[in-house]
Structure 1
């Protein structure tokens, strides 16, 4: 049975929204990589540094656990492109891990296990958080629209 005009418009609108969510989420993420993520007594770290070496510190726990938001966010983008229902759950989990960074006052900065106080949270972190939030809100909106029109 072919789509009615209203159904076709809804499909097109959801497709546009999905594209906006993907472009907005990935764009904010990429933009975050070129900005300062956090600063300690030893200087500031860019988000790209945190992305590339953050996984090494995850076994120590603490603020480094927020790094898990990165693979979860990427999985949510992949699932969103495939119209999978679970995209919003992965994006929510990514958002929660991202927010968890704010809970910590110190971060491990070297392989010797030295922790330093987080003195400032930079624009890179806020852009990363915005990427997670944009992806979550977009995925949730698309999920709600799908349920509502079923």
Structure 2
């Protein structure tokens, strides 16, 4: 299993100089979450961005890493605003991998329970699921990417159609 960090809200930290939440260029949050488990996971930082800033080149970079990897199971830590765009992009390319996109509605720095739960669920699901596919893991759900959507009005992901 390879965990790819692309940034997003889960990773954001408060910058006391600028007064803003920023996506730092490190994997500190995910490393802290993984330190509480008894297994070793490969972790690679790929793109450190808010998902609204991600573009086709970032998605191609994720794709290339997945294509070149000997792994067949991936967890992508991703921002929630464009998670579905990346999931759809990946679904058009891969049918021979398990890829779970995961994020958080609040930064780990503000709510470490949500971020930890979501990553833990993604890891557990990745170990359990037999079927290849592109999945989203958010708010206590893990579903094929087009069955789970962000409800912006409610501030959470919900099962659809």
Tell me if TM exceeds 0.5.
Answer: no
More helix by share: 1
More strand by share: 2
Greater RCO (Cα-Cα under 8 Å, separation 6 or more): 1
